[in-house]
Amino acid sequence: MKIAIAQMPVTTKKDENLQTACRYIHEAATAGASLVILPEMFNCPYTSRYFRDFAEPEGGHSWQTISRQAAQEGVCVVAGSMPELSGERIYNTSWVFDREGKQIARHRKTHLFDIQVEGGQHFRESDTFAAGSDVTIFSVDGVTMGLCICFDFRFPELARLLALEGAQVIVVPAAFNMTTGPMHWELMFRQRAVDNQVFTIGAAPARDKKADYVSYGNSILCSPWGKVLTRAEGEPQLLLAELDLTQVQAVRQQLPLLKARREDVYALTKAGGRHCNQSSG
């Protein structure tokens, strides 16, 4: 499977961001990609003061734009994330569209980014967003994939649940910053790949040093063995890569970690709501 990771620039103009996203999807499809992944907050600056103004309901303008582009290009698209308006609540939400532009999955960010790093980053998503409660999987060309958003990926329990649901690939639209990114970004994507013996994909916005929130960028793809297969730096870039899905089974046979779990000693269980979609894509 050929995938494309769109490390696109994001501005304060929504339509400009949507045009950029569509251009990246077109370039990816032209290059033969089956799946295109956009970054977290692809249509909106990652800054609290913009979230409510940019928020749209499911089926809104941004949703329709990416749905049409997926259908026009005949590719599956993980539409990064954007502010979703649902009644009085706003969620940090990712939608997935199949080759016909049909929505096949939705993930609302489960763990909100509320941090205070001494001498570094301060941010409170909970001032604006409500938390989702989903363990989200979908299927593209018969390949089961898990989906989470940025801070979600810091919680190993969620990644393990995705693997136990059958995920061979975990897709993560994310926007790490210049404090957490250099320390944790590659480390985390490699470790989650090793722990769960899956491919991990991180799609970040390009770095804009003039923005209120500066994205680390460094969109990344890691193998089930923990090897970095491709990685961007800070600038806008479309990463293209082939996934050899036979590696998942091969690694799991060589190191049978999932089979060797001691469920008689410990167990990981799901609780509460769960949004789970599977489609042939």
CA dist., res. 136 & res. 59, Å (int): 19
Q: Going by C-beta distance under 8 Å and a sequence separation of 6 or more, which residues neighbour residue 94?
A: 78, 79, 80, 81, 105, 106, 107, 109, 147, 149, 173
The angle subtended at Cα 226 by Cα 240 and Cα 116, nearest 5°, is 90
Looking at 40, 56, 84, 125, which residue is catalytic? 40
What gap in Å lies between CA 94 and CA 107, rounded to an integer? 5
The whole-angstrom separation of Cα 28 and Cα 6 is 8
Contacts of 235 by beta carbon, 8 Å cutoff, 6+ apart: 7, 206, 207, 217
The span from the CA of 43 to the CA of 79, in Å, is 10
How far apart, in whole angstroms, are the C-alpha atoms of residue 36 and residue 20? 13
What is the DSSP code (8-state) at residue 212? S
Q: Other CB atoms closer than 10 Å to residue 269's CB: what's the count?
A: 6
Catalytic residue from among 22, 44, 150, 222: 150
Give the tokens for residue 211: 């923005």
Residue 227 annotated as catalytic: no
**150 an active-site residue?**
yes
Catalytic residue among 109, 125, 148, 222: 109
Query: Of 122, 78, 150, 75, whose CA–CA distance to 159 is shortest?
Result: 150
DSSP state at residue 157: H
Other residues' Cβ atoms within 10 Å of the Cβ of residue 253: 10
Known active-site residue 109: yes
Catalytic positions? 40, 109, 150
